Amino acid sequence: MESILDRFFRYVAVDTQSNEESESQPSSAKQLKLLEMLRDELAAMGVEATLDEYGYVMGSIPSNVVGKVPAIGFIAHVDTAPDASGAGIKPQVIKDYDGGDIELKGVPGLALKPSEFPEMLHYIGETLITTDGTTLLGADDKAGVAEIMDAVQFIVEHPEFKHGEIRIGFTPDEEIGRGVVKFDVPRFGAEYAYTMDGGEIGELEFENFNAASAKIHIQGRNVHPGYAKGKMKNAILIGTELNSLLPVEQRPEYTEGYEGFFHLIGFGGSVEEADLTYIIRDHDRQKFEAKKKTILDCCDFINGKYGAGTATPVVKDQYYNMREQVEPHYHVVEKAVKAMEMAGIKPRIQPIRGGTDGANLSFKGLPCPNIFAGGLNFHGKMEFVPLKSMEKASEVILNIISLYAGD
């Protein structure tokens, strides 16, 4: 078998950054390179696999047990976040991590430090894969992709391994909230599924944020600064004023657990016009709706102060909390708990402070909790993943399959 590490390196070598400004599906054509690779690799292993026009790879492994066993799906996304470059990734392999700082050699003076990321100390003695400091790593979610493919390889090379029907899914554009917009759940054919898209080893999640985006256009008025009194409307300053109206304590850097936030992720422009982009998150649906109204109220205040049409907001829902869809099928969570315990892992059930394809899939009728993929510090140059965590995630997949086959 190809090692899971070599497989992971092959996948992160492909730039698959999604593009939130694009209206196409997938949002970037370069994602198709990895999707085509995965389709072909599945076919080479004898797994029936397709890649459709929307960029969804679907694979199917028939049952080898007698009797009815639920068809179980495992899903991961191939795209990397727009927050940092995903091109030319040069992973660093740190064997027998000693608990010290890890120099990221692509940027002099930049290092992963336990003083800043204390979770690193959980992995002393293990092999860590880091970035070189110039890009993200892509463990979100190519670790999940590698884990699923590793499990598939084990299954096809061990015909004695008992399993029901297995469905494999790889999706584009999860990072921009469009991962399963056109995903055909009936064609996929699973009764229950799991996304391999969580963080640290042991994480198990079946509730996530309700999510929306907000784009606000500020229309200013540029006049020669020497003659601007009573005439100029500086769109940059109006934008900063609008942002100051939002509650400071509800920014990501001040929240945790079930606390929601407003997150300003983009701000650019000139005196004449400027644009602000936010993401809005909350686990509680009522608080989520209130946050969206707060954005609109702030725009109304700005328009009342500077004139109608100064602030034009566009607010769009992205996904909702999957808990209400998964909880009626709680056995899918219980199976994952037991599968982790079988692998010697202590499960940690917690809310996702984010979202996954599983949230939208759950609302499409496919209950889909989220299991750890093993990475940490997603979406940035400090991203890293312990090798053992990826190996254990693959083991959990096989354990889940065994548990369903044994029912």
**What type of residue is 232?**
M
Question: Annotated catalytic, 174?
Answer: yes
- State the Cα–Cα distance between residues 193 and 171, nearest whole angstrom: 14
- State the Cα–Cα distance between residues 86 and 17, nearest whole angstrom: 6
Name the catalytic one among 174, 175, 357, 391.
174
In sequence order, what DSSP letters do the residues of 301-361 get, joined into one string? HHHHHH-TTSEEEEEEEEE--THHHHGGGTHHHHHHHHHHHHTT---EE---SS--HHHHH
Between the two ends of the chain, the Cα-to-Cα distance in Å is 29
Question: Crossing angle, helix 31-44 and helix 4-12, to 10 degrees?
Answer: 150
Exposure string (b/e) for 236-260, b if CB count within 10 Å is 16 or more? bebbebbbeebeeebebeebeeebb
Name the catalytic one among 15, 79, 175, 203.
79
Reported as type and span, the H/E element at residue 76 is: strand 72-77
Query: Which residues are marked as active site?
Result: 79, 174
